[in-house]
Amino acid sequence: MSSRDGGASIHGTCIAVGGHGVLLFGAPGSGKSDLALRLIDTDGRGTGPERLTAQLVADDQVVLAARGGRLIARAPDALAGRLEVRGLGIVSVAYLEEAPVLCAARLDGTAAPERLPDFSQRTATLCGIAIPELALDARAPSAPAVIRAAVIAFAGAGRQGFGTT
Protein backbone atom coordinates (compact mmCIF):
# COMPACT_ATOMS: atom_id res chain seq x y z
CA MET A 1 0.00 0.00 0.00
CA SER A 2 1.41 3.41 -0.86
CA SER A 3 1.61 6.24 1.62
CA ARG A 4 1.06 9.91 0.94
CA ASP A 5 4.82 10.57 0.65
CA GLY A 6 5.45 7.90 -1.98
CA GLY A 7 6.73 5.29 0.46
CA ALA A 8 5.21 1.94 1.32
CA SER A 9 3.05 1.09 4.31
CA ILE A 10 3.76 -2.35 5.80
CA HIS A 11 2.40 -4.37 8.71
CA GLY A 12 5.04 -4.44 11.43
CA THR A 13 6.70 -2.51 14.22
CA CYS A 14 9.80 -0.33 14.22
CA ILE A 15 11.94 0.44 17.25
CA ALA A 16 14.96 2.75 17.22
CA VAL A 17 17.77 1.24 19.28
CA GLY A 18 20.66 3.61 19.78
CA GLY A 19 19.13 5.72 17.00
CA HIS A 20 19.09 2.81 14.50
CA GLY A 21 15.74 1.52 13.29
CA VAL A 22 14.95 -2.17 13.65
CA LEU A 23 11.91 -3.46 11.77
CA LEU A 24 10.00 -6.27 13.47
CA PHE A 25 7.98 -8.49 11.12
CA GLY A 26 5.79 -11.48 11.82
CA ALA A 27 2.32 -12.91 11.81
CA PRO A 28 -0.33 -11.39 14.07
CA GLY A 29 0.38 -12.51 17.63
CA SER A 30 4.07 -13.20 16.93
CA GLY A 31 5.15 -10.73 19.62
CA LYS A 32 6.10 -7.58 17.70
CA SER A 33 4.46 -5.12 20.10
CA ASP A 34 5.48 -7.12 23.16
CA LEU A 35 9.13 -7.20 22.07
CA ALA A 36 8.96 -3.45 21.41
CA LEU A 37 7.60 -2.91 24.92
CA ARG A 38 10.36 -5.05 26.45
CA LEU A 39 13.02 -3.12 24.53
CA ILE A 40 11.62 0.21 25.70
CA ASP A 41 11.11 -1.03 29.28
CA THR A 42 14.70 -2.28 29.70
CA ASP A 43 16.06 1.04 28.55
CA GLY A 44 19.34 2.06 30.15
CA ARG A 45 19.75 -0.87 32.55
CA GLY A 46 22.83 -3.03 32.81
CA THR A 47 26.39 -2.62 31.66
CA GLY A 48 26.46 -4.16 28.17
CA PRO A 49 24.42 -3.78 24.98
CA GLU A 50 21.24 -3.35 27.02
CA ARG A 51 22.41 0.19 27.80
CA LEU A 52 21.42 1.29 24.29
CA THR A 53 18.25 3.35 24.56
CA ALA A 54 15.19 2.13 22.68
CA GLN A 55 12.30 4.24 21.47
CA LEU A 56 9.16 3.46 19.54
CA VAL A 57 9.02 4.61 15.94
CA ALA A 58 5.85 2.80 14.81
CA ASP A 59 3.61 -0.05 15.93
CA ASP A 60 1.21 -2.09 13.77
CA GLN A 61 1.88 -0.11 10.58
CA VAL A 62 5.21 1.32 9.43
CA VAL A 63 5.63 3.79 6.58
CA LEU A 64 8.90 3.22 4.72
CA ALA A 65 10.63 5.40 2.16
CA ALA A 66 14.02 5.43 0.45
CA ARG A 67 15.85 8.68 1.08
CA GLY A 68 19.47 9.34 0.18
CA GLY A 69 20.19 5.62 -0.26
CA ARG A 70 18.81 4.80 3.18
CA LEU A 71 15.56 3.21 4.29
CA ILE A 72 13.60 5.55 6.57
CA ALA A 73 10.74 4.40 8.82
CA ARG A 74 7.98 6.41 10.47
CA ALA A 75 4.49 5.86 11.88
CA PRO A 76 1.34 6.78 9.99
CA ASP A 77 0.01 10.00 11.53
CA ALA A 78 -3.00 8.28 13.14
CA LEU A 79 -0.78 5.74 14.97
CA ALA A 80 2.15 7.96 16.02
CA GLY A 81 3.08 7.40 19.66
CA ARG A 82 0.66 4.48 20.09
CA LEU A 83 1.70 0.99 21.22
CA GLU A 84 -0.53 -2.04 21.75
CA VAL A 85 0.01 -3.65 25.13
CA ARG A 86 -1.85 -6.97 25.35
CA GLY A 87 -4.09 -7.09 28.38
CA LEU A 88 -4.06 -3.29 28.67
CA GLY A 89 -4.94 -1.89 25.24
CA ILE A 90 -3.46 0.93 23.18
CA VAL A 91 -1.19 3.20 25.23
CA SER A 92 0.62 6.42 24.44
CA VAL A 93 4.42 6.31 24.62
CA ALA A 94 7.27 8.62 23.70
CA TYR A 95 8.35 8.04 20.09
CA LEU A 96 10.72 9.18 17.37
CA GLU A 97 9.15 10.73 14.30
CA GLU A 98 11.44 8.71 12.03
CA ALA A 99 14.55 6.54 12.06
CA PRO A 100 16.98 5.16 9.48
CA VAL A 101 16.46 1.39 9.32
CA LEU A 102 19.55 -0.68 10.02
CA CYS A 103 18.11 -4.21 10.02
CA ALA A 104 14.98 -6.33 10.25
CA ALA A 105 13.96 -9.16 12.56
CA ARG A 106 11.49 -11.76 11.31
CA LEU A 107 9.68 -13.07 14.37
CA ASP A 108 8.89 -16.76 14.22
CA GLY A 109 8.55 -18.84 17.34
CA THR A 110 8.27 -22.14 15.44
CA ALA A 111 11.80 -22.42 14.05
CA ALA A 112 15.13 -22.20 15.85
CA PRO A 113 17.21 -19.23 14.65
CA GLU A 114 20.15 -20.10 12.44
CA ARG A 115 23.30 -20.48 14.51
CA LEU A 116 25.72 -18.60 12.20
CA PRO A 117 23.65 -16.85 9.50
CA ASP A 118 25.27 -15.34 6.41
CA PHE A 119 23.81 -11.83 6.34
CA SER A 120 25.14 -11.16 2.86
CA GLN A 121 22.58 -13.77 1.77
CA ARG A 122 19.95 -13.13 4.42
CA THR A 123 18.39 -9.78 3.54
CA ALA A 124 15.04 -8.05 3.26
CA THR A 125 14.63 -5.62 0.36
CA LEU A 126 12.22 -2.77 1.01
CA CYS A 127 11.78 0.31 -1.18
CA GLY A 128 14.80 -0.88 -3.18
CA ILE A 129 17.10 -0.99 -0.14
CA ALA A 130 18.50 -4.32 1.11
CA ILE A 131 18.97 -4.66 4.87
CA PRO A 132 20.17 -7.61 6.97
CA GLU A 133 17.36 -9.80 8.28
CA LEU A 134 17.66 -12.04 11.30
CA ALA A 135 15.21 -14.69 12.50
CA LEU A 136 14.17 -14.45 16.12
CA ASP A 137 11.72 -15.92 18.61
CA ALA A 138 10.22 -12.76 20.15
CA ARG A 139 9.18 -14.65 23.27
CA ALA A 140 12.71 -15.80 24.12
CA PRO A 141 14.00 -14.04 27.23
CA SER A 142 17.13 -13.07 25.26
CA ALA A 143 15.21 -11.40 22.40
CA PRO A 144 15.76 -7.77 23.53
CA ALA A 145 19.48 -8.45 24.08
CA VAL A 146 19.74 -10.13 20.65
CA ILE A 147 18.19 -7.04 19.02
CA ARG A 148 20.63 -4.75 20.81
CA ALA A 149 23.59 -7.01 19.91
CA ALA A 150 22.46 -7.00 16.25
CA VAL A 151 22.39 -3.19 16.25
CA ILE A 152 25.91 -3.07 17.67
CA ALA A 153 27.14 -5.67 15.15
CA PHE A 154 25.54 -4.10 12.08
CA ALA A 155 26.24 -0.47 13.03
CA GLY A 156 29.79 -1.38 14.05
CA ALA A 157 30.36 -2.96 10.66
CA GLY A 158 29.41 0.38 9.11
CA ARG A 159 26.30 -1.12 7.53
CA GLN A 160 23.32 1.11 6.95
CA GLY A 161 21.81 -1.65 4.86
CA PHE A 162 23.62 -3.35 2.01
CA GLY A 163 22.77 -0.73 -0.62
CA THR A 164 20.16 -0.46 -3.31
CA THR A 165 19.06 -3.29 -5.56
Active site residues: 11, 32, 60, 115
CA-angle at 25, arms to 84 and 17, nearest 5°: 75
CB atoms within 10 A of CB 12: 22
Question: How does DSSP classify residue 158?
Answer: T
**Residue 53: CB partners within 8 Å, gap ≥ 6?**
17, 18, 43, 44
Mark 51-90 as b/e (b = at least 16 C-beta within 10 Å). ebebbbbbbbbbbbbbeeebbbbbbeeebbebbbeeeeee
